Amino acid sequence: MVVGAGYTGLSAALHLAEAGRDVVVLESAEIGEGASGLNGGQVIAGVKHDPAVLEQLFEPALAVRLIATVGGAPQALYELVRRLQIDCALTTSGWIQPAGSPAALSVLRQRAADWAARGAPVRVLDAEAVERLTGSRIYCGGLFDARGGTVQPLAYARGLARAALRAGARIFARSPALRLEHAGSGYAVTTPGGAVRAEQVIVATNAYSGRLVPALRRSVVAVPSFQVASAPLSVELRRRILPGGQGASDTRRLLRYFRLDASGRFVLGTRGTYAKSPSLHAVQRHYRAVGEIFPELSGIGFDYHWGGLVAMTLDHLPHLHQLAPGLLAGLGYNGRGVAMATAMGRELALRALGAPAAELGFPVTAVKPVPLHAFSSVGVRATIQLLRLADAWTRRRVA
């Protein structure tokens, strides 16, 4: 059984069903109603730590598997989309990380060299090249990662769900898992409509983890992020802004991520608020950000805004947990879950099918609570203010 119908849960269900297992997915809301249907759609290779750091953090054989998993996650997603014919406006023309300061650019130089030394198609861009690729003049250079791409996030989640159903999985929306208990050699999960028994349970609730497994909820900090989408841009603007169809996420401490969607809307996201509906002030800050990056978009009309929760971990790494025999969880993608959660779902399925830890692409780790977790939303609000000030300070120094 899988709890949660986002990329992690749906990818796990798909891989298990394709391996001939009887799979039930319980989703408290609708398919993709968590971060998987709400995100920026950027398919990004790697995690926050570059390969050389991962080699210091993990023993050699595990570091090799982890680097291959996180570096190969976009390609694995593209292969799934093509094999399963998922209609999700896939683009595979790369990902751009524009640098907001010379200090950030020197980090990107190292990052590019680190990945390139391992044969990955990653290179540094000068300011002119960033302007050519993005249309923005505010960056002093950047990084181009040819492994990246974009998807329409909800279409990708629904496509995974359809493929899992075709492979034999059963998905129950509006069916929250309320209680999880040992039952015989497996588990019983209670929902408002009845109980489901299963030999194995995969918990895939990420930033939306609630009381079902309290330790999981306490192992991540749920950080709000929200996006605005403009009216479709004119053909002339589309020729200048991201003409190659890449997604971009800049190097600010409160990073701004943006892309054009298939209908030519400019979509930009950055840290949001915990409020159900963002204040006018918060929305206007997003509009201002658009105008800062692309002055020609100042004053453009916006049609939509929406937000969701990102699961951050203290070590900036995704986690695959074996909570007990037959009880697995995967979460904590730190804003890179489109490719990473898809890969995690596959690895969770492999584990459930009996793969030893030594064959998995993510380390199997113990669940560690974030200290003072109950106060984390207060801490996140304070941190967002501090980072905002630090970004403004860097901008002033660079200008």
Smaller CB distance to ligand FAD: residue 2 or 108?
A: 2
Among 12, 24, 44, 317, interactor with ligand FAD by CB under 6 A: 44
In the complex, what is the shortest distance from the CB of residue 153 to ligand FAD, in angstroms, rounded to a whole number? 7
Query: What sign for the dihedral angle of Cα 229, 230, 236, 240?
Result: negative
- Give dist(CA 135, CA 241) in Å, integer: 5
Taking the least distance from each CB to ligand FAD, the nearer of 210 and 295 is 210
Q: Which of 176, 186, 264, 326 binds ligand FAD (CB under 6 A)?
A: 176
In the complex, the smallest distance separating the C-beta of residue 334 from ligand FAD, rounded to whole angstroms, is 8
Interface with ligand FAD (CB under 6 A), residue from 256, 336, 346, 351:
336
- 69 vs 225, beta carbon nearer ligand FAD: 225
β-partners of residue 267 are 229, 259
Examine residue 97 and tell whether it contacts ligand FAD (CB under 6 A). no
Compute the least distance from the CB of residue 177 to ligand FAD, in Å.
4
Write the single-letter amino acid at 276: K
Q: CA 99, CA 102: separation in Å to the nearest integer?
A: 7
Of 314-333, which residues contact ligand FAD (CB under 6 A)?
A: 331, 333
3-state secondary structure of 394: helix
Give the pairing of strands 149-150 and 42-43.
antiparallel
Under the binding rule (CB under 6 A), the answer on residue 258 touching ligand FAD is no
Residue listed under structure tokens 């390609």:
75
Query: Of 208-227, which residues contact ligand FAD (CB under 6 A)?
Result: 208, 210, 212, 225-227
User: SS3 letters for 138-206?
Assistant: CCCEEEEECCCEECCHHHHHHHHHHHHHHCCCEEECCCCCCEEEEECCEEEEEECCEEEEECCEEECCH
Which residue has the closest beta carbon to ligand FAD?
A: 337
We find the least distance from the C-beta atom of residue 398 to ligand FAD, in angstroms, to be 25
Least distance (Å) from ligand FAD to the CB of residue 35? Answer: 3
* Nearest CB to ligand FAD, comparing residues 81 and 207: 207
Nearer to ligand FAD, 137 or 362 (CB): 362
Q: Cα separation of 365 and 12, whole Å?
A: 18
- Report residue 173 as tokens: 């929306």
Pick from 13, 17, 24, 38: which binds ligand FAD (CB under 6 A)? Answer: 38
Buried b (16+ CB within 10 A) or exposed e, 47-80: bebbbbebbeebeeebbebbbebbbbbbebbbeb
Residue 67 touches ligand FAD, criterion: CB under 6 A: no
Interface contacts to ligand FAD, rule CB under 6 A? 3-9, 26-29, 33-36, 38-42, 44, 176-177, 204-208, 210, 212, 225-227, 257, 269, 307-310, 331, 333, 335-339, 341
